[in-house]
Amino acid sequence: MPTRQTSSSGKSKSPRIQVVLPEDLCARLTAMAEHESRTVSNMARVLIQQGVQRHEQSQAAAAPPISREEQLRSALESQPPRRLRGAPRRLRLYRPG
């Protein structure tokens, strides 16, 4: 669970997590951060955001399309219930004869 700290002004800071990286990956991340004039932490945040967005997009594309029946059902269920104005005066039953 990420830890949330408070600043000296009393505002809460962004949640913090701790990640352990292999040395070669850390070196590559540091080189990328230097190339873009960012801190290593900021570069990691940007890359994580991009990866999460890409993952969410691939998950959305992989989701099965909603059938017409499901669309109709959800549209009907989202409508508020309506009351009838009155009971029918006479019921006619069909009796096979």
Tens of pLDDT, residues 47-80: 999 999 999 888 877 777 778 888 888 888 888 8
Q: What is the pLDDT of residue 45?
A: 95
Q: Tell me how far apart the alpha carbons of residues 42 and 6 are, in angstroms, rounded to a whole number.
A: 19
> Average of pLDDT values for 78-93?
76
| 7 assigned to some structural domain | no
Q: What is the pLDDT of residue 67?
A: 85
Q: What is the pLDDT of residue 88?
A: 67
Token pair of 6 as six digits: 């408070």
pLDDT band at 37 (very low <50, low <70, confident <90, very high): very high
The pair phi, psi for residue 16, each rounded to 5°, is -120, 140
| 28 assigned to some structural domain | yes
| 68 assigned to some structural domain | yes
Tally of domains within the chain: 1
| 81 assigned to some structural domain | no
3-state secondary structure of 3: strand
- The domain of 47 spans 23-75
